[in-house]
């Protein structure tokens, strides 16, 4: 009898737990659908704004590809100001909270960030060289990692695309390194331009799609 009651209790507990999980899953799905519907409403209502933004980014990206040297300097200056302002705020916060454990590390980090930012602003040409070298190292490491992952994935489907992407990253790193320092003047601007064109194209495509489609 006791074992029978125990089994019934276990079944009841399992049913309640399953019901709670299903209710939570239903609530999550409902919230996701509400968010998606809100996004859809904004896209349909403001598609012209998204389309204009897409065209603007395509224009900026095309300009960056045509005159990458100017945009490379712009990247260095923009990053420099971000680091300088962020470093100053971090230093101020560290001085106000000197009694907090780890405040010295925050202070050191803030000074380092501010110094690097000032260097990029004061000498943007040298900053472009440094950023391009760091980007080259990143591409090389990314290429090695992707090729290694592709070989681990083989013979799974699409492993060749991952391998191809890795070789592309390595090739780009070699091209930049071979033309150093001449390539530093245009690499950052070129990559920024390509990124802007892809961003603008995606915004334009999404906006035009939701202009002509109703749900």
* pTM of structure: 0.62
pLDDT tens-digit series, residues 80-132: 898 899 889 888 877 877 777 767 777 888 888 888 889 888 888 888 888 88
Burial of 76 (0-12, 13-18, 19+ CB in 10 A): buried
pLDDT tens across 126-178, in order? Answer: 888 888 888 788 888 888 888 888 887 777 666 787 788 788 878 888 888 88
Q: Is residue 197 part of a domain?
A: no
Cα separation, 163 vs 78, in Å, equals 34
13 inside domain: yes
Query: Has residue 210 been placed in a domain?
Result: no
| 38-55 residues labelled b (16+ CB within 10 A) or e (exposed) | eeeeebeeebeebbebbe
Residue 11 lies in domain: 1-45
Query: Does a structural domain hold residue 37?
Result: yes
Domain membership flag for residue 54:
no
As for how many domains the chain has, the answer is: 1
Let me know if residue 170 belongs to a domain. no
């Amino acid at each position: 009898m006791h074992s029978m009651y125990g089994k019934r209790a276990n079944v009841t507990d399992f049913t309640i737990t399953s019901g709670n999980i299903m209710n939570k899953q239903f609530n999550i799905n409902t919230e996701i659908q509400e968010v998606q519907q809100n996004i859809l409403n904004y896209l349909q209502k403001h598609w012209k704004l998204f389309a204009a933004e897409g065209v603007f980014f395509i224009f900026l990206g095309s300009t960056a590809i045509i005159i990458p040297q100017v945009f490379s300097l712009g990247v260095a200056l923009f990053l420099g100001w971000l680091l300088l302002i962020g470093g100053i705020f971090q230093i101020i916060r560290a001085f106000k909270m000197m009694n907090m454990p780890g405040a010295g590390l925050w202070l050191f980090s803030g000074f380092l960030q501010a110094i690097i930012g000032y260097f990029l602003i004061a000498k943007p040409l040298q900053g472009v060289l440094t950023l391009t070298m760091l980007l080259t190292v990143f591409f090389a490491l990314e290429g090695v990692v992707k090729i290694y992952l592709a070989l681990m994935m083989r013979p799974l489907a699409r492993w060749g695309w991952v391998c191809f992407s890795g070789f592309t990253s390595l090739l780009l790193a070699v091209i930049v390194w071979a033309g150093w320092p001449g390539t530093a003047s245009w690499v950052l601007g070129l990559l920024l331009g390509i990124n802007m064109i892809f961003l603008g194209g995606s915004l334009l495509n999404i906006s035009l799609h939701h202009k002509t489609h109703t749900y």
